[in-house]
Amino acid sequence: MTTTAKPRTVGAARTRVEGREKVTGAARYASEQPFEELAHGWLVLSTVARGRVRAVGEEAVRTLPGVLTVLHSGNAPRLTTDFVSLLGPPDPVVALFQHDRVPHLGWPVALVVAETPEQAREAAEALVVEYDEEPHDVAFRAGRPGTYTPEDGSAVAAKGDLEAELASSSVLVDASYTTPEQHHSAMEPHAATARWAEGRLEVLDTNQGTGWVAGDLAQLFSLDASSVRVRSEHIGGAFGSKGVRPHQVGAVMAATVLHRPVRLALTRRQVFAVTGYRSPTAQRVRLGADPDGRLRAFGHEALNLTSTLRPFVETSAVFGRVMYDARAHHTAHRLVGLDMPTPTWMRAPGEAPGSFAVESALDELAERLDMDPIALRARNEPETGPLSGLPFSSRNLLGCFEEGARRFGWAGRDPRPRLRREGRWLLGTGTAAATYPSGAAPSTASVTAEPDGGFTVRISAADVGTGARTALTLVAAEALDVDPERVTVRIGDSDFGQAWVAGGSMGTRSWSLAVVSAAEELRGRLALSDGDIPPEGITARTDTAGLLAELAKKERHSFGAQFAEVAVDVTTGEVRVRRMLGVFAAGRIINPLTARSQLVGGMIWGLSMALHEEAVRDAASGGQVGADFAGYHIAANADVPVIEADWIDDPVPDDPVGVKGIGEIGIVGAAAAISNAVWHATGVRHRDLPLRPDRIL
């Protein structure tokens, strides 16, 4: 889209700078680095959902082959856990072995360390832990007792009299939706290696922010921040799950106790248990409209579960605060504390489940109004932020719908359901809107002009698989006005200073601002120099706190339009998605190749959310049934048809880099578009995900 960009930098499709390393296996992931004298840890997780650890039978396993130590609440070093860092307080599960209480099934109760992973595993599986068990409650459903409004200031937002406007509306929708517990399922499981070297703690890890993890580890172990170094070179997916988790804490604890490097890798089942998940949601949407489709009343209440340890809000109701205006506008979150692990952010936290409910309800309203679903959304385009009153930095939602409708072939669609049939398949199409915030947070970057004519960028950014390293190479090359081949970007090292994490779709925007600002400063200094570059190079280093503080307060978001075509087998209830199209307005697109991959990846998550993903809790044990890839279904290649993602021009005039972020918006609205298409195919509304065959029939 960027007509002004130099074709070899921003806007040019580039393969990943580390692509060859990755496909040849030369790229080493966190658990693949060799170390001398490496010991291996294996976590032991509780088998009861609530109670106390009465005894840990460590004596019997300490004599097993290779066992070096067994850590548990009776002997573990004390940690500091009451702190707030870059992303708030740490997850309660990192308070490893700090007390004998068991707040949920899968709570870490011991760590066995041995010479080999096999020996550690054998001893961990032989370890007998005795519990005083107490009754537990993991039953999540709408209307259950014990719900509360979180103290979080953004839990409720309201204007106008909702009941009065509903009463004076001529067309109403009042519908309840549910989404199930979902898991991140990153390809690379969590793993860390910790060691002490020359008075410093060094941790090799797989995470979304080395500065964040280093800062939290320093707090936990009461260390000086400068004495902790965390590196995370290559990362096989994260999606919100790769912050500070028990694997780093256990590795550091054991390395400290044993004076040896210790590696702790989680198994896939442990990843399901201790690295967070998306809470199930129960949502009620109430819409009231005039006959012309204009909303008078917009109500959205969303309930999610959290642990008994800490409130975590899945912010489903924020979606409507950006998307639609109405005279009365009420959105609220509620929580219920259960004997479950604490949920966490998972790709498009809030917007993913929230858009399913709201965009399904909009489709139901369009049906009742006998109005085209896109026309209904156009009728309700707000001029300014519905609740904030602030201007949008840019809002091209209707442009997305126009371009999407044209390419998808929406015009001439018969809105009536259950009319198209192909043998045993009923066919239908659906659409939904998408949005996700475009934020930025202060970050530090340095750029060095090297004597050989190259440039080195250093920033503690993370490439979780997005292509961030490549994007920053293009951004730096453009800012320096040099060929990208002359730029080396080094990321994933907390020693490069504090920077924002790969999260909240804020990474590339936050880091680009820092890299551009350092590059500009360097160019200024080079212009003043006599052209001689000393052996150590010339370095400019900046941070963006001041720059961000000056940015005008606006509603800054990406937008998009999702389209789906489905076929529903009337004999088996199977839903096949035949094609999807997403058109996005997401600011300046730095690298079309990896950007498309990000957006398509998000849409595949949406497909997976619509049709497959569901973690089932067993009420009796309190545990997840089938916590593996056999039991937890994610979309496989055969489920994924033609998926197209594209974007329209979306300049953000007042933003120094014009980047909005694309990490999460691909999933937003995708499940609603599919569900709306299933209604169009069958004439039956489905308000509970996933759309399993037994629900379709």
Least CB distance to ligand MOS at residue 344 (A): 8
Q: Which is nearer to ligand MOS, 239 or 410 (CB)?
A: 239
Least CB distance to ligand MOS at residue 234 (A): 17
Is residue 346 at the binding interface for ligand MOS, with CB under 6 A as the rule? Answer: yes
Q: Which is nearer to ligand MOS, 299 or 343 (CB)?
A: 343
Phi/psi-derived region of residue 531, left when phi > 0, alpha when psi is between -120 and 50, beta in every other case: left
* Residue 360 CB neighbours (<10 A): 27
Least CB distance to ligand MOS at residue 203 (A): 20
664 classed as catalytic = yes
- At residue 180, the 3 state secondary structure works out as coil
Q: Which is nearer to ligand MOS, 349 or 430 (CB)?
A: 349
Taking contact as CB under 6 A, which single stretch among the options 49-57, 301-309, 346-354, 440-448 is the one that binds ligand MOS?
A: 346-354
CA 43/CA 358 separation, integer angstroms: 41
∠ Cα 510 514 518 (to 5°) = 170
CA 360/CA 400 separation, integer angstroms: 19
CA 684/CA 174 separation, integer angstroms: 16
Q: Which two tokens stand for residue 282?
A: 């129960």
Q: Which is nearer to ligand MOS, 329 or 347 (CB)?
A: 347
Is residue 504 at the binding interface for ligand MOS, with CB under 6 A as the rule? Answer: yes
Please compute Rg for the chain using Cα positions: 26
CA 105/CA 46 separation, integer angstroms: 6
Least CB distance to ligand MOS at residue 238 (A): 6
Is residue 601 at the binding interface for ligand MOS, with CB under 6 A as the rule? Answer: no
Least CB distance to ligand MOS at residue 347 (A): 5
Q: Which two tokens stand for residue 142?
A: 């709408």
Q: Which is nearer to ligand MOS, 94 or 678 (CB)?
A: 94
Least CB distance to ligand MOS at residue 502 (A): 7
Binding residue (CB under 6 A) for ligand MOS from 92, 280, 288, 349: 349
Q: Which helix (H) or strand (E) holds 558?
A: strand 557-569
Least CB distance to ligand MOS at residue 263 (A): 24
Q: Which is nearer to ligand MOS, 250 or 349 (CB)?
A: 349
Binding residue (CB under 6 A) for ligand MOS from 107, 345, 410, 436: 345
Concatenating the DSSP letter of every residue in 244-279 gives S-HHHHHHHHHHHHHTS-EEEE--HHHHHHHS--BP
Interface with ligand MOS: number of residues (CB under 6 A): 9
Binding residue (CB under 6 A) for ligand MOS from 104, 136, 333, 347: 347
Is residue 560 at the binding interface for ligand MOS, with CB under 6 A as the rule? Answer: no
Strand pairing category for 281-289 and 295-306: antiparallel
Q: Beta partners for 642?
A: 579
Q: Which of 188, 202, 367, 664 is catalytic?
A: 664
* Residue 697 CB neighbours (<10 A): 13
Residue type, 549: A
Q: Beta partners for 56?
A: 129
Binding residue (CB under 6 A) for ligand MOS from 428, 503, 606, 623: 503
Least CB distance to ligand MOS at residue 624 (A): 20
Q: Which is nearer to ligand MOS, 64 or 86 (CB)?
A: 86
Provide CB contacts within 8 A for 618, sequence distance 6+.
624, 625
Is residue 437 at the binding interface for ligand MOS, with CB under 6 A as the rule? Answer: no
Taking contact as CB under 6 A, which single stretch among the options 80-88, 258-266, 340-348, 583-591 is the one that binds ligand MOS?
A: 340-348
Taking contact as CB under 6 A, which single stretch among the options 36-44, 329-337, 342-350, 647-655 is the one that binds ligand MOS?
A: 342-350
Taking contact as CB under 6 A, which single stretch among the options 339-347, 372-380, 536-544, 632-640 is the one that binds ligand MOS?
A: 339-347
Whether the CB-CB separation of 261 and 115 falls below 8 Å is answered with no
Q: Which is nearer to ligand MOS, 113 or 501 (CB)?
A: 501
State which residue has the least CB distance to ligand MOS. 240
Q: Which is nearer to ligand MOS, 97 or 239 (CB)?
A: 239
Least CB distance to ligand MOS at residue 241 (A): 8
Least CB distance to ligand MOS at residue 84 (A): 18
Alpha helices for 481-506 (secondary structure H): none
Q: Binders of ligand MOS among 198-257, rule CB under 6 A?
A: 208, 239-240
Q: φ, ψ for residue 659 (rounded to 5)?
A: -90, 140
Q: Which two tokens stand for residue 433?
A: 């809107």
Q: Which is nearer to ligand MOS, 12 or 235 (CB)?
A: 235
CA 353/CA 672 separation, integer angstroms: 9
* Burial bucket for residue 485 (CB in 10 Å: 0-12, 13-18, 19+): exposed
Taking contact as CB under 6 A, which single stretch among the options 125-133, 217-225, 343-351, 574-582 is the one that binds ligand MOS?
A: 343-351
Phi/psi-derived region of residue 233, left when phi > 0, alpha when psi is between -120 and 50, beta in every other case: alpha
- At residue 631, the 3 state secondary structure works out as coil
Provide CB contacts within 8 A for 204, sequence distance 6+.
30, 33, 192, 193, 194, 230, 231, 232, 233
Q: Which residues bind ligand MOS (CB under 6 A)?
A: 208, 239-240, 345-347, 349, 503-504
Q: Which residues are catalytic?
A: 664
